[in-house]
Amino acid sequence: MNTVEETKTEFLAFLKKKAALEEALNLVYWDIRTKIPKKGTEGRAEVIGVLSEQIFEMEVSEEMAAFIATLAPHRAELDEITAKSLDESNRVYALNKKIPAKEFRAYSKLVAEAENVWGEARAENDFAKFAPYLEEIVTMKRKFVEYWGYEQNKYDTLLDQYEPGMTVEVLDSVFLKLRDAIMTLRGKMAREGTAPNPDLLRVTMPREKQQTFSEQILTKMGFDFDAGRLDDTIHPFAIGLNLHDVRITTRYDEDNFKMAVFGIIHEGGHAIYEQNFNPKLAGTPLKEGASMGIHESQSLFYEIILGSSFAFWKSNYKNLTKLEPKFAQVPLEDFYRAANLSESSLVRIEADILTYPLHIMIRYELEKALMNGELEVADLKEAWNNKYEEYLGIRPEKDSEGILQDIHWAGGDFGYFPSYALGLIYAAQFFHTMERELPELDQIIESDDYTPIREWLTEHIHQYGKLKKPLEILKDTTGEGLNPDYLIDLLNKRYEFVYNLKS
């Protein structure tokens, strides 16, 4: 009979093998979303199904069950990384053991195919082409929720997979407070504010110049180009293959430099998080972000809290004007105000900081309704359009700027969207604490070296990966739990400046 130490060694080797399969799977996902020829999609989807099934079978195998049974009684004797790897493996085992392997493989193949069809449907503005795939995904997700079980709300089960401990009850309360504050501020801006001139930013900037400027920003942020790369795609994303290979993507529009520049800053935040995990977490299930909300807090910290601040553009605007002299005719303060213009828009990734949470709330409410059987895919497009009219006063005319704009549902990622808004709340809380602990923060942001910022984030957040729970990281870093007040305060101060409002 093996000793506990021998079983631990075998367990870690088993996890390392699973991590290698996960890296291969992520590489295939990156390829299918960036470089694959159109005719190669079907075959690649089959590969995704096979790899996903192998990983799934390892997670629910008799071998995994034996590791858990042997090591769990001796958890106190294990080092922290092994103990928490055991906890995470046990959580995933308990969750996935309830899903028949054949159904999981069919689901994995379905979403791989659905992502490709979604891309075609989006290009053709044809939701009807994608709808049958989405109907099947929703049906399978509902079935999985029944397998997994739930207590109060079916959507809680999906939320917990992306944001452990989060519930509909908490989100409903936090989102209501945030929504009321946003609506109040937007009303004040409409009545009393002076709107910036958006024409100042209507400058055509070649793709190559946008990329050069964005890479300059990424370097200042601390993105390691020797451990990552930047590519083009339809829908921007970041994906970590391992600590030394974290890839980001973007979509360029020469008539809207903000989309790519801010998108790259956003995805760069994700990548820097993963590039700074503790190397000891490699090969374990802890080599991931603590949650999607914490992950989004890092991307949104760089994009919204840092990259959309006046201090940020004090240093970076001169580089932009060197690359694109047309901007040199626009004074910095006018440029900054125009860059922070708040207006109702249809596309989430192009939304300003003030309206962005409303885009998330719309998706959250639709997902809740879908998973609880209160809404069907056949009625989803109309429900989407109605929500946009209710929340933002506008209605999509094209599916590509409406229900087909996001890839998440094609990938089956129900429960993910709330992470974006939670990430923004977390980011504002982290920034509030950072301001207190780094009194020279404004000077750092205005400089050409953001190393102290990255080091602070690594010390408090990055290094832990999944070693800590999201709310544990929040409490240890800020001294309190989830609190939207800091985001509300940040929004009020920023838009008082941008719109020349009286406090």
Catalytic center residues? 267
> E strands of 243-303, at which residues?
245-250
Closest CA to 309 of 453, 448, 452, 442: 442
Query: In the block, which residue shows the tokens 């020279």?
Result: 440
Rg (CA), the chain: 23
3-state secondary structure of 66: helix
Do the beta carbons of residue 89 and residue 18 sit within 8 Å? Answer: no
Closest CA to 27 of 2, 7, 47: 47
Long-range contacts of 389-397 (CB under 8 A, 24+ apart): 391/358, 391/361, 391/362, 392/344, 392/345, 392/346, 392/355, 392/358, 393/344, 394/344, 394/345, 394/346, 396/346
Distances in whole angstroms, Cα of residue 178 to Cα of each of 172, 258, 396, 421: 10, 25, 24, 10
List all residues 6 or more positions away from 201 whose beta carbon is below 8 Å from its beta carbon. 257, 258, 335, 338, 339
C-beta neighbour count of 30 within 10 angstroms: 21
Residue 231 bridge partners (DSSP):
249
* Cα atoms in the 13 Å half-sphere on the side-chain side of 461: 36
Do the beta carbons of residue 499 and residue 312 sit within 8 Å? Answer: no
C-beta neighbour count of 55 within 10 angstroms: 18
Query: Whats the size of the chain, residue-wise?
Result: 503
Do the beta carbons of residue 223 and residue 266 sit within 8 Å? Answer: no
3-state secondary structure of 406: coil
